[in-house]
Structure 1
């Protein structure tokens, strides 16, 4: 096995940080000048559109959300809302404890590292400035690709760009978006990060996976032992 492809939210990020998302939405709503609950409802309802790029970038998305809330923000208000929204998104993508060390360890072991994330525009736009960017060889964002997990084309794209056959890739994620079943069907070896130490984290998963992988770990740093054992066993 020569490559490891990671999910992003709840896998590389702190699962507890998801609890910050409603507050960040409220901050963006205030900057847009729309009711917080109406904005939150619009964001939740538009998730399937936002993660495949159907609403454009963050600025275009927030303009669309404002329209759905009955508002027409001017350029200055929209500028403030975009800045506020990006700042909130940065807090939500705080790395989980030990995640960066795991990535550094795997790179030192010559694993190719990929990312496969169902995400809206915020992550893709900010990616080059994140602490993850220099550690991931190939990031694949649903927003840029125009499709979401478990679409087999996403897994094929990730493997192709890594230059590694799908059969030689691990896929590591917390189980949202039916991602493990997608990885299994693509020929990858899936690993579930249960996040057992984060009460309530499973409730934030969108379209949770009903397929339960053979390989399961509670914390991300257990991946090092799992991969090391698998490699030792050939």
Structure 2
């Protein structure tokens, strides 16, 4: 095995941070003069299209969401809303405890590191400034690729960009978006991170995976011993 492909939210990020996503949208809704509950509902309903790029970048997305909610923001309002939305994105993606050191150790051990994330425009636009960017050799984002997990094109893209075959990749994730079934079908070896210490995390997974991998770990700190066996 020459490479490790990670999920992002709830795997590399702190699983507890996802609980703050709704609150993080409040400032965006205020900038657009949309009631917070209405904005939250519209963002949730548009999620499948937003994460595959159909709403465009963050500015275009917020303009369209505002229109759908009956608002008509001017350019200054949109400037404020984009800033608020990107700031909210920062709040929901803090690194899981110890994960940056783990990524550094895995790279030092010679592993190529990849990422597949079902994400909207905010993560893609901010990626170069995140602490993850210099540690991930091949990030693959649904928003850029125009498809979401478990679409096989994502797994093929990450293995190709890593310069390895799918059979040489571990796939590590918390089990949303049917990601492990996709990894298995792609020929990767899946590992489920159960996030046992975060009992509410599983309820926030989008499109939970009906397939449970043979290999499971309670937290990401158990990954290195597992893959070295």
Partner residue, 1:80: 80
Counterpart residue number, 1:38 = 38
Q: Aligned ranges for residues 41-120 of structure 1 at < 5 Å?
A: 41-120=41-120
Compute the displacement of 1:195 (Å): 0.4
Q: Please, what TM-score do these two structures have when normalized by structure 2?
A: 0.99
What is the CA distance between 1:15 and its match in structure 2? 0.4
**1:199: Cα distance to partner?**
1.6
3-state DSSP of counterpart to 1:176: coil
Aligned to 1:232: none
Number of equivalent positions: 229
CA RMSD, aligned part only? 0.5
- String of CA shifts for 1:107-126, please: whole Å, max 9, x gaps: 00010000000000000000
Shift of 1:157: 0.6
* Other-structure match for 1:227: 227
Which residue of the partner structure matches residue 201 of structure 2?
201
**Distance in 1 of aligned mates of 2:14 and 2:86:** 17
Say whether residues 1:143 and 2:143 are aligned partners.
yes
Q: Please state how far the C-alpha of 1:149 moved relative to its aligned partner.
A: 0.3
Cα distance in 1 for residues equivalent to 2:102 and 2:204: 24
Gaps of at least 5 residues in structure 1 are: 230-234
Counterpart CA distance in 2 for 1:31 and 1:100 is 34
Structure 2 residue runs without a partner (length 5+)? none
TM-score for the superposition, normalised by structure 1? 0.97
Once the two structures are TM-superposed, the CA of residue 32 in structure 1 deviates from its matched residue by 1.1
